């Protein structure tokens, strides 16, 4: 069940059922709150390699969890422990997305990057060209590690959405030559790089395991950066012509304690 490279990933969102909560009684609520905090502790003994939680904006959910681990059952065990807890009957799942981390086929190799620089005006073998290639060679392992086994930034806001590439007559992404797709994705990547230091992105693949082909997770230092990056990238041809988007879930990163307090679940 362990991927040859990368990790399993799960986004899951819940609502609290207030009618069930009202029927639990103070003792059970107290025990349920304690168990909730234990299960959603990123540093807990049974926690997956990555676990982050947040308060969800709007009516789609009350809170969300994002998890990654080499073992998918370790991720699922978090959901089962929540379901089996004193608060379990009061937790209603509202959405989930199963995926795996990957290195996209559009991430250029060192040789492809060197060739691209030449097409963009660099002189092959010049000191400037060599310096750029060497810098990319040093960055590439770090970037690939972040794609496969990412650290979750503790930035205040995050949004997640699933997406497909179109398979329609005249707009079938998968019938295009690789060179054409690669060119459009390079443009898309350049747009995203303008937000370095403001937005951190993770693309996970849902092909074969989900209803949508990819999941996009964006962490931002400010919610306005989420609007700015998505709006900017919508004008890229890869998005404007070929992308289809599912529901957007936006959260404000918060600990399990902050979630319970914000949602007015009785404190200890």
What is the assigned CATH class of domain 8-101+253-262?
alpha beta
For the entire predicted model, the pTM comes to 0.93
Contacts of 254 (CB under 8 A, 6+ apart): 53, 54, 55, 63, 262
Is residue 161 annotated as part of the catalytic site, yes or no? yes
pLDDT tops 60 at residue 156: yes
pLDDT class of 78 with cuts at 50, 70, 90: very high
CB 79 within 8 A of CB 8: no
pLDDT at 267 over 70: no
The Cα–Cα gap between 67 and 75 comes to: 6
254: number of Cβ within 10 Å: 19
The confidence band for 123, taking pLDDT boundaries of 50, 70 and 90, is confident
On the question of a common fold for 8-101+253-262 and 151-252, the answer reads: yes
Catalytic residue among 113, 161, 231, 249: 161
Distance between CA atoms of residues 152 and 220, nearest Å = 11
**Token pair 């690789």 in the structure block, residue:** 178
CA 4 to each of CA 23, 69, 108, 135: distance values in angstroms, whole numbers, following the listed order:
47, 13, 20, 28
What does the alpha-carbon distance between residue 263 and residue 141 come to, in Å, rounded to a whole number? 41
The matching CATH number, chosen from 3.40.220.10, 3.40.50.720, 3.20.20.60, 3.30.70.1030, for 151-252 is: 3.30.70.1030
Averaged pLDDT, 235-252: 96
* Mean pLDDT lowest among 15-19, 37-41, 240-244, 263-267: 263-267
Contact 148, 100 (CB under 8 A): no
Query: What does the domain layout of the chain look like in residue ranges?
Result: 8-101+253-262, 151-252
- What is residue 121's predicted lDDT score, i.e. its pLDDT? 87
Model confidence pLDDT, tens digit, residues 160-209: 999 999 999 889 999 999 999 999 999 999 999 999 999 999 999 999 99
Number of H helices, E strands in the chain: 9, 11
Q: Does the pLDDT at position 268 exceed 70? A: no
- Residue 168 pairs with which residues in a beta bridge? 171
List pLDDT tens digits, range 204-215.
999 999 999 999
Q: What is the pLDDT of residue 178?
A: 95
């Amino acid at each position: 069940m362990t991927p040859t490279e990368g990790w399993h990933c799960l986004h899951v969102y819940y609502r609290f059922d207030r009618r069930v909560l009202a029927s639990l009684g103070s003792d059970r609520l107290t025990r349920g709150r304690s168990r909730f905090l234990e299960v959603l502790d990123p540093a807990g003994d049974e926690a997956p390699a990555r676990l982050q939680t947040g308060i969800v904006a709007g009516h789609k959910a009350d809170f969300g969890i994002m998890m990654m681990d080499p073992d998918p059952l370790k991720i699922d065990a978090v959901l089962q422990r929540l379901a089996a807890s004193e608060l379990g009957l009061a937790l209603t799942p509202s959405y989930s997305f199963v995926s795996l981390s990957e290195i996209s086929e559009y991430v250029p190799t060192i040789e492809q990057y060197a060739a691209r620089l030449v097409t963009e005006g660099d002189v092959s073998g010049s000191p400037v060209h060599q310096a750029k290639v060497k810098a990319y060679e040093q960055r590439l392992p770090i970037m690939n590690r972040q794609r496969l086994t990412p650290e979750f930034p503790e930035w205040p806001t995050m949004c997640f959405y699933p997406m497909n590439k179109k398979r329609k007559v005249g707009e079938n992404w998968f019938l295009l030559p690789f060179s054409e797709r690669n060119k459009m994705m390079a443009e898309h990547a350049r747009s995203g790089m303008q937000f370095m230091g403001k937005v951190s992105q993770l693309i996970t693949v849902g092909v074969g395991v989900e209803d949508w082909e990819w999941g996009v997770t964006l962490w931002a230092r400010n919610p306005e950066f989420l609007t700015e990056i998505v709006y900017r990238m919508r004008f890229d041809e890869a998005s404007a012509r070929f992308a289809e988007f599912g529901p957007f879930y936006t959260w404000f990163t918060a600990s399990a304690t902050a979630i319970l307090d914000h949602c007015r679940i009785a404190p200890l």
